[in-house]
Chains A and B, each alone.
Chain A
Amino acid sequence: MQTAPEIGINELRKLIQTIIERFDYDFSNYSAASFKRRIQRFIEIKRLGSVENLVNKIISGEIKKNELLTEISVNVTELFRDPSFWKHLRKVLLEQNLSQNIKIWQVGSSSGEEVFSLMILLNDLNLLNKAEVISTDFNVGIIEKAQSGLIPGKSMELNTSNFVKTGYKGELTNYFKAEGENYSLTKDLLSKIKFKEINLVKDSFNGNVDIILCRNILIYHNPQLQNDILKKLHQSLNMSGLLILGSRETIEWSEVAPKFTMLGPEERIFRKNKV
C-alpha cells in the first residue's frame, strides 16, 4: 500500500503531456485510479521523490520509454490464468467446426504466458497448422521478453496447477524444457507466433481476424478509450468472428454492444453479428 503523497490532478496532467511529447504514448484515457498507483509505484522504485522529478528525468532523457512503459503496464500474468476459462475455450473452439484456416489475434503480449497458453490449446486441438497467431503489445521491450519464450522457473508450480485444472492432454513439461532457472517454450510452438508492436490507443489494426483474445486489457482504460478500442476490435473481426474478453470485461455500455451476441453466461465470449 502506497503511503506516498497524493498526486494532484495538475501534476498528473503535466506528466501525461510530457509522456505524449517525449514518448508518443497517450495515457490520458487510462483508468485514473490504477494509473496513479502505477506512477506512485514507479516514483518509489526509482526513488524519484516526486512527479516533478519524474517529469524532469523524462525530459532530460534519463528515463527511457521502454523502461517507463514496462513498469507502468501491469505484467502480472500466468499460464492458463483462470483455468475454467481455458477449459471453456477449448469447448467453444471444438464447437466451431474449424475446417478453414483461422487467424487469431492475441492482444497484450505481456511476458507471453497468454499466447503460450493459446498455442498449447491449439496443439491440443490439432489446430497448430491451421492457425495464424499474432500477438501484439504496445511495448517493444516486453515483446522481446515474450519472444524469448522463457518463463521463470519459480512460477512453474502455479502454471502446472493451472494446466492440470484445464484438463488438457499431456503434461506441461511436454511444452517447456528447463533452461537454467527458466523454462522455454518448445521452438515448434514459439516459432508459429508472430509478434508485433501495436498501440491500441492510436493505431488501427488491419483485420480479417477470426478470433480476438483480449483478456484483462480493457480494464486499464476508461469508458471513452474502452469504447474506441472496442470499435477497432469490431472492425478487425471477420463476420461471425469471436471477441474474447476477461471475466469482468464487457461490451455493455459501448457503441458496439448491439453488434455482438454473447455466446453464453459462462465466459465473456462475443460473436460479431452478421449485418
Chain B
Amino acid sequence: MKEVDLNRKYKAIVIGGSAGSFQVLCKILNKLPEDFSLPIFICCHRLKHIRNGLIEALSLKSIKEVKEPDHNEPIKRGKIYLAPANYHMNIELGNYISLSTEEMVNNSRPAIDITFETCAYVYKEKLIGILLTGANKDGALGMKKVKDYGGMTIIQDPEESVIDTMPKAAMSVTKIDHVMKVEEIIKFLIELNKVTQL
C-alpha cells in the first residue's frame, strides 16, 4: 500500500470509466465492505437505448445495493449511485442528485466530466475522484476540476488499463495524486472506510 493521506474526512467518492471499466467496477464493488459509509457516484459510458442490464449486472457483483437515481433523489450515506442511461447525472448543493438530457458531452450521455465537475463543486476538498480505463478523453477535465477544488485524484494504472487513453488524458491535464492498480484501489477504499468510520 502506497503512502496515502487518509487523515482528512472525505465525504464522497466519484468513479468514472469507459471501455474495460465494467470488470474493474465489478471487482471494486465485490470487495467494498458492506458498512462502507461514503456515498459513491459512478458514471460510466453505456448504450443509450439499453435502460436495463448494467445495473442488474453490477448489483450481482456488488455486496452493497447499486442504484440508478431518480431526478431530485436525496443522497444517502453509504449508497452507490450509477448514472442512468441517456441522462447526465449532476450532484447538487443541498445533498441531492439531478439529471438532465442536455446535449452529449464527449459523445457521451451520461458524461463523466459532468458528474465529476458537479461533484467537485459540491464536495470540494472532501472528494476523491477515481478515473479508470477507457478509450476516450471524457473525465479528464472532470478530474482537473476535482484537483482544482482541492480533492484527491486517483487513476487506474495505465499499464493495467485495458485502454489507457482515459487515465492518460487525465494525467496530461492535471496533477494525479495516485496511480493505482485495481487491487490497490480496493485496499485504499477499505483503509479509507476504517478512517471515515471513526
In the complex, the answer to whether B100 meets A219 with C-beta atoms within 8 Å is yes
Cβ of A220 within 8 Å of any chain B Cβ, yes or no, is: yes
Chain A residues, Cβ within 8 Å of B111: 1
Chain A residues, Cβ within 8 Å of B73: 253
In the complex, the answer to whether A33 meets B91 with C-beta atoms within 8 Å is yes
Cβ of A223 within 8 Å of any chain B Cβ, yes or no, is: yes
Q: Is the interface on chain A under 10, 10 to 19, 20 to 34, or 35 or more residues? A: 20 to 34
Cβ of A46 within 8 Å of any chain B Cβ, yes or no, is: no
Q: Which of B6-14, B101-109, B174-182 contacts A (4 or more CB under 8 A)?
A: B101-109
Cβ of B39 within 8 Å of any chain A Cβ, yes or no, is: no
In the complex, the answer to whether A250 meets B70 with C-beta atoms within 8 Å is yes
With A and B bound together, what is the CA distance between A249 and B49 in angstroms? 17
- A162: min CB distance to chain B, Å: 9
Chain B residues, Cβ within 8 Å of A1: 105-106, 111, 113-114, 117, 141-142
Cβ of A157 within 8 Å of any chain B Cβ, yes or no, is: no
Cβ of B68 within 8 Å of any chain A Cβ, yes or no, is: yes
- B115: min CB distance to chain A, Å: 10
The answer to whether A216 and B101 touch (CB under 8 A), given A33-B90, A83-B49, A223-B96, is yes
With A and B bound together, what is the CA distance between A247 and B70 in angstroms? 8
Chain A residues, Cβ within 8 Å of B132: none
Chain A residues, Cβ within 8 Å of B121: 6, 33
The residue that A76 contacts in the complex, of B96, B103, B114, with Cβ under 8 A, is B103
| Best-surrounded residue of A33, A82, A216 (most CB of chain B within 10 A) | A33
Cβ of B153 within 8 Å of any chain A Cβ, yes or no, is: no
In the complex, the answer to whether B71 meets A74 with C-beta atoms within 8 Å is no
Chain B residues, Cβ within 8 Å of A38: 102
Chain B residues, Cβ within 8 Å of A76: 101-103
The answer to whether A219 and B141 touch (CB under 8 A), given A1-B113, A33-B91, is no
Q: Give A contacts to B, CB under 8 Å.
A: 1, 3, 6, 31-34, 37-38, 74, 76, 82-84, 216, 218-223, 226, 246-250, 252-253
Nearest first, the 4 closest Cβ-Cβ pairs linking A and B are A33-B90, A31-B98, A34-B100, A250-B70
Q: What are 16 pairs between A and B in contact, CB < 8 Å?
A: A1-B106, A1-B142, A31-B92, A31-B98, A33-B90, A37-B102, A76-B103, A84-B51, A219-B100, A219-B101, A223-B72, A247-B51, A248-B84, A248-B99, A250-B70, A253-B74
